[in-house]
Amino acid sequence: MARAQRREQILAAATKAFSRTGFAATSLEDIAAEAEVSRMILYRHFESKGELFRAALDRALERMTAATDVEVGARSVSALVRWAAAEPAEFLVLFCWSEREPEHAERAVRVREAMESEVRERIARDAGHGPWSRWAARLAVATCLEAIMLWLRESAPEPDAAIERITRIVTSIVDSAGGAPELT
């Protein structure tokens, strides 16, 4: 197998292995078994498990960015759900496991913050920079990502129905930023 193909095979296998148990609980033996290669072959392509995890994160982020390159709104939720359905291991590594690993959490936080910033800008265009815009942006992103994670754990039934439901929830959060909360 050509070097680039072998590297891609190892990255795909590592992403799958990491998606099940995260960085700390996944051994190089687990990754080698998933890739059907020896540990020696792993070390020819990656110096350490940390480097392999970083490469898996980079790959996931690149693919997510390519798959979701649409304006923030209902289409972006749809694109994110469809990418997660196509690449569940990458989604879980990027949004579930990376945040739990001290060495990699900063990158995950930056990705979430970038998403929140885009949503906040969308809210500002539609409703202005009100006191609730930051809250709504953070809540909308967190809700969307958590809903997708839970959906994936339920074996990702009916993607179109998931898109409709998640979009409805996120839209209601974003809409709530537009005015003062009702007092009862």
Q: What is the mean pLDDT of residues 30-44?
A: 95
User: What domains can be seen in the chain, in order of their start residue?
Assistant: 3-176 (1.10.357.10)
Residue 71 pLDDT > 80: no
pLDDT digits (tens, 9 = 90+) for 124-181: 887 777 778 888 999 999 999 999 999 999 887 889 999 999 999 999 998 887 754 4
Q: Let me know: does 64 contact 144? Beta carbons within 8 Å.
A: no
Q: Provide the residue type at 118 as one letter.
A: E
Q: What is the mean pLDDT of residues 106-133?
A: 85
Give 103's pLDDT tier (boundaries 50, 70, 90). confident
Q: What is the model's pLDDT at position 42? A: 94
Q: Let me know: does 149 contact 155? Beta carbons within 8 Å.
A: no
CA–chain centroid gap for 112, Å, is 9
Whole-model pTM: value is: 0.88
Mean pLDDT (the chain) is: 89
